[in-house]
A and B are shown apart, each in its own frame.
Chain A
Amino acid sequence: MRNCTVTAASNMSGETYEYLCEKVRKRFGDDIAFTRVTDDAVIGGFMLDLNGHIFDLTLATQLKAMGKHLREE
């Protein structure tokens, strides 16, 4: 049984959350236990933590990546 922690902001509705969990099950398999963490610091989007494998699609991270990109020469 694998554990998946979903981190999203409070602007993600319950329906979208369920939609997301379904997609994860379809992609990675059925034996996943989901936990939701609400953190407004991620601004939007979501982050999956599947037994240590991280998939970060939060807007906060994209903002940081943009900042790094802008700071390049």
Chain B
Amino acid sequence: MSQVPELNISAFLKQKIEDFAVAPVAFVKGTVSTVGDGVVRVSGLPGRLYGELLEFDGGVVGMALDLDENGAGAVLFDSADVVRVGDGVRGTGAVAEIPVGENVLGRVLDPIGRALDGAPFTPEKFYPVERPAPSVTDRRPVDKPLQTGILAIDSMIPIGRGQRELIIGDRQTGKTTIAVDSILNQRDQGVLCVYCAVGQKASTVAQVIKTLEAGGAMAYTTVVAATAADSPAMQYLAPYSACSVAEYFMEQGRDVLIVYDDLSKHAVAYRTISLLLHRPPGREAYPGDVFYLHSRLLERSACLARRKGGGSLTALPIVETMENNISAFIPTNVISITDGQIYLESELFHSGVRPAVNTGLSVSRVGRAAQTAAMKKVSGTLRIDLSQYREMAVFARFGSDVDPATKKLLDKGEGLVNLFKQGKSSPYPLSRQVLLLLAYSLDLFTGVGEKAFPEYLARFLDFLGEHCADLCRIIDETGDLPDDVRAKAEERFKAFGAKA
């Protein structure tokens, strides 16, 4: 409140009173006929719209999702305790809207735009929560990479700006960690971020916000949160609201990253609403349009054509599976909508491979078009190496006699698996990733062994920091690995290898 100096309240109020214009208030009225389970039936309300926001006496807001001849059925955004039969309802004539603009960066909002982080919030501009996706001609192919900072992903499952990449896995396999680390890595990349929490515990959301603050990410991130305590209607709206926030920036020509955490709970919230509105249940009791629920959301992520500003919206939806079953209803739906998936396995996670990415089943349909030149040069054979290693490792477990060539393959593969292990909240810049993979191709990590690996890697990273800073700078600035830089790096790595 910068315009109100402490002692000049009266001047402020006088000015405000001057500014006030008397205007007639026109709205449409209805009456509450039944209340129950977060769903209210209203009679009256002539001219009611589908998806219209309704205001109940007592300040509660709801959304009309079920229209019939005599009235409407509405789901409430807040708790139903204060709504009674016979209460009045106002039709606002407006559909759900969310504030957008530069001033939402760094804020934590709920899906209808109320601030959750304690500080006052004055919206500049509003966008409707449901918006049409960009048309076919307004798009261009994805060509720029989105660096997540996670070596396993940026090298083998690269994500481009404007792509939708699903993060799928069982509970507690590191899905949110991958998404949050990607947000943390956007600090110097000029990409704005939106984190949408649907149905999460409030403590988990608080933890994520803390992590983002600690990494300096809140300066360019907005959080839209509908926690598990919020009504199903709020949880249903949250991803669409978050998408509108992100779309505003995309239409300004910016690159935006949005994380939906997670869409499984979103589908469950929508199922709850549909069942309470007596809509017919389909497979797994989900309503018939649950595919459309997610497809219209994810289609709003796009890479816009230059004449539309050239901005992009990259989506990282998260889906939780039960017992690694990716053939369940919602996972298959979302897999068919997205441009690839990152598949996390709990066995890998528990055996220490973190991020627990199953590179065999993970894919990025945009692929190498979204990789920097430097990364392309060093990551060509990685997937093949890993799959060969995995095959051989199965055999080696049974017999201990292996010929030297196979042993070398096994050692090299083990080195690669250990190289891909990465800590939480520690994204790697592009130069570090490229040089690590170059060192791998020179067998620097072959035969190090699992126990000694962390210490060896730490020493190597120190070496990189001390002796290869100039090479790192060239790689980071140009995004390429020129031959002379490569030769220099190889020389220095050989010297390191001889010493170690």
Are A70 and B16 closer than 8 Å at their CB atoms? yes
Cβ < 8 Å to B, chain A residues 35-69? 49, 51-57, 61-62, 65-66, 69
Residue in A closest to B26 when the chains form the complex, CB atoms: A55
Asked whether, in the complex, the Cβ of B3 is within 8 Å of the Cβ of A56, the reply is no
Q: Determine whether the beta carbon of B46 is less than 8 Å from that of A61.
A: no
* B285 adjacent to chain A (CB < 8 Å): no
| A residues near B26, Cβ cutoff 8 Å | 53-56
Task: Name the residue on A nearest B1 (C-beta).
Answer: A73
In Å, the complex CA distance between A73 and B22 comes to 19
**Cβ contact within 8 Å between A66 and B17:** yes
Proximity string of chain B (1-43) to chain A, C-beta cutoff 8 Å, 1 when within and 0 when not: 1011000000001001101101111111110000000000000
Contacts A57-B24, A73-B122 given; does A51 touch B16 at CB 8 Å: no
CB distance from B156 to the nearest CB of A (A): 50
Instruction: Please tell me if the beta carbons of A56 and B24 are within 8 angstroms of each other in the complex.
Output: yes
Inter-chain contact A53/B28, CB cutoff 8 Å: yes
Q: Output the least CB separation between B10 and chain A (Å).
A: 12
Closest to B121 in A: A73
Mask of B167-195 contacts with A, CB within 8 angstroms, 1/0: 00000000000000000000000000000
Classify the interface of chain A: helix, strand, loop or mixed. mixed
Whether A52 contacts B29 in the complex (CB less than 8 A), given A70-B16, A70-B17, A73-B1, comes out as yes
Closest partner residue, chain A, to B122 (CB atom): A73
In the complex where A70-B13, A70-B17, A73-B1 touch, is A52 in contact with B30 (Cβ < 8 A)?
yes
Contact of B28 among A54, A61, A69 (CB under 8 A): A54
In the complex, chain B residues 81-100 whose Cβ is within 8 Å of any chain A Cβ: 90
Which residue on B lies nearest to A51, using beta carbons?
Answer: B46
How far in angstroms is the closest Cβ of chain A from B216?
Answer: 28
CB B68 to nearest CB in A, in angstroms, measures 15
Residues from chain A with Cβ under 8 Å of B46 in the complex: 51-53
Asked whether B44 is an interface residue with its Cβ less than 8 Å from the other chain, the reply is: yes
When C-beta atoms are compared, the residue in chain A nearest to B120 turns out to be: A73
Beyond A62-B22, A73-B3, whether A56 also contacts B16 by CB under 8 A is no
A50: nearest chain-B partner, CB-CB: B46
Across the interface, which residues of B come within 8 angstroms of A55, CB to CB?
Answer: 24-26
Please measure, in the bound complex, the distance between the C-alpha atom of A66 and the C-alpha atom of B20, giving whole angstroms: 7
Chain B contacts for A66, CB-based, 8 A: 17, 20
The one of A54, A62, A70, A73 that contacts B27, using a Cβ cutoff of 8 Å:
A54
Interface residues on B, range: 20 to 34
B45 within 8 Å of A by Cβ?
yes
- Min CB gap B262→A, angstroms: 35
- Residues of B near A49 (CB, < 8 A) are 29
Which size bracket describes the interface of A in this complex? 10 to 19
Docked CA distance A70–B3 (Å) = 13
What residues of A have a CB within 8 angstroms of the CB of B17 in the complex?
Answer: 66, 70
Residues of the B chain whose Cβ atoms lie less than 8 Å from the Cβ of A51: 46
Contact residues in A for B30 (Cβ distance below 8 Å):
52
* Complex alpha-carbon distance, A61 and B44, angstroms: 22
A73–B13 Cα distance when bound, in Å, is 11
Q: Give A48's nearest chain B residue, CB to CB.
A: B26
Per the 8 Å Cβ criterion, residues 399-446 of B in contact with A are none
- Distance between Cα atoms of A70 and B20 in the complex (Å): 9
A56 touches B20 (CB 8 A): no
Determine how close the nearest CB of chain B comes to the CB of A66; give it in whole angstroms: 5
* Nearest chain B CB to A23 CB, angstrom units: 13
* Chain B residues, Cβ within 8 Å of A72: 16, 122
Nearest CB on B from A63, distance (A): 10
Bound complex: CA A70 to CA B14 (Å): 9
Q: A62-B22, A66-B17, A69-B20 are in contact. Are A56 and B122 (CB under 8 A)?
A: no
Among the listed A52, A56, A69, which residue makes an inter-chain contact with B25, where contact means beta carbons less than 8 Å apart? A56
Interface centre among A52, A69, A73 (most CB of B within 10 A): A52
Contact partner of B16 among A52, A62, A69, CB < 8 A?
A: A69
Given the interface contacts A69-B16, A70-B13, A73-B1, does A52 sit within 8 Å of B44 by beta carbon? yes
Q: How far is the CB of B137 from chain A (nearest CB, A)?
A: 42
Q: In this complex, what residue of A is CB-closest to B27?
A: A54
In contact, A52 and B28 (Cβ under 8 angstroms)? yes
Chain A residue with the shortest CB-CB distance to B45: A52
Complex Cα distance, B24 from A24, in Å, reads: 15
Residues of A within 8 A of B1 (CB): 73
Query: Shortest Cβ distance from B269 into chain A, in angstroms?
Result: 31
Q: Name the distance in Å between A42's Cβ and chain B's nearest Cβ.
A: 12
CA distance A73 to B4 in the complex (A): 8
B residues in contact with A52, CB < 8 Å: 28-30, 44-46
Can you show 17 pairs from A to B with CB atoms below 8 A apart?
A: A49-B29, A52-B44, A53-B26, A53-B47, A54-B25, A54-B27, A54-B90, A55-B24, A55-B25, A57-B24, A57-B25, A62-B22, A65-B20, A65-B25, A70-B13, A73-B3, A73-B4
Additional A-B contacts beyond A52-B46, A55-B25, A69-B16 (13; CB < 8 A): A51-B46, A52-B29, A54-B90, A56-B27, A65-B23, A65-B25, A66-B20, A69-B19, A70-B13, A70-B17, A70-B20, A73-B3, A73-B4
